[in-house]
Structure 1
Amino acid sequence: MKRPIPDRVKPGQESVWDYPRPPRLERQRARITITFGGVEILDTDDVLRVLETSHPPVYYLPEDAFETGCLVPASGSSMCEWKGAAHYFDVVAPAAGSSATQSGVAPRAAWGYARPMPGFELLRRRVAVYPQYMDRCTVDGETAVPQPGEFYGGWITSGIVGPFKGIPGSHSW
């Protein structure tokens, strides 16, 4: 299929059509927060992002930055030709004010790479989260919009322009 026409880039924005394939891993100076079940389960400025042609950034965050007990290993795995074998986590939110009672579970809503492939070693002990299953995910205070499509885990902010993989008709991009 022919490459789509990229959206116009304004000052301060990035086009996903300028991202590389194979993808690039880079540090980002940003504060990321994630809220689930009405509870903030992550607040960190230790941020890595993966940039891949046609996809908004996927943020990889330290496992130990999540609230204790929020990441529960889940069954199944998948394979990325560049990053390696992914394993999944259920995201579990403690009830406000009580770590003993659970107020929500998002099955397989996060993933990581125990043994990333060469070039992606920094992803070890880091986790990415599907924003569509969380209450709110922010990048420097801005609420991120989930990348279209069930399979994708990119976060769209005002600084990122598409069109994005996952919209109807984008399967062969």
Structure 2
Amino acid sequence: MTNADATHRVEITPNPHRLRVIHRGITIADTRRGLTLRETGLPEVFYFPREDVNMSRLHRSESGSHCPYKGDASYFHLLTEEDGPVVDAAWSYESPLPGAEAIKLCVAFYPSRVDRIDQTS
């Protein structure tokens, strides 16, 4: 995908590996249908289909952001029993811009806000 800035790229590809998000010993997301998003100047991000995310552990927050290449993101707090909510631990593009449609209604997690994001065979 290219936009007005021809040097900026967003590439979304199916990830052939098993992807999991684990926090405090609890699996929050587990999929073999994940996507990898590579964007110019940023680390790659794994996106999980909502069907493979324990959405009962996520609570929509008031936060949001806008990316000129992907659109408006909604954020979620990760609910834990021990530590309370992990603020804005995950995000999702519910109506992504053209070229980023593959991540519609998928969820991504900040690696710094969860214990682990695993990619295995």
**How far off its partner does 1:33 sit?**
1.0
- How many residue pairs match? The answer is 114
Q: TM-score, normalised by structure 1?
A: 0.61
CA distance in 2, matches of 1:132, 1:79: 20
Q: 1:80-108: CA deviations, max 9, x gaps?
A: 00100011000123xxxxxxxx2342110
SS at match of 1:118: coil
Read off the aligned partner of 2:88 and give its amino acid letter: R
Question: Unaligned stretches of 5+ in structure 2?
Answer: 1-6
Give the alignment of 1:1-173 within 5 angstroms.
Answer: 21-93=8-80, 102-104=81-83, 105-140=85-120
Q: Extract structure 1 runs of 4+ deviating beyond 3 A.
A: none
Q: Residues 68 and 109 from structure 1, CA distance in 2 versus in 1: closer, same or farther, beyond 3 angstroms?
A: closer
**How far off its partner does 1:25 sit?**
1.2
Q: TM-score, normalised by structure 2?
A: 0.86
Backbone CA RMSD of aligned residues: 1.6
**How far off its partner does 1:48 sit?**
0.8
Read off the aligned partner of 1:128 and give its amino acid letter: A
SS at match of 1:116: coil
SS at match of 1:103: coil
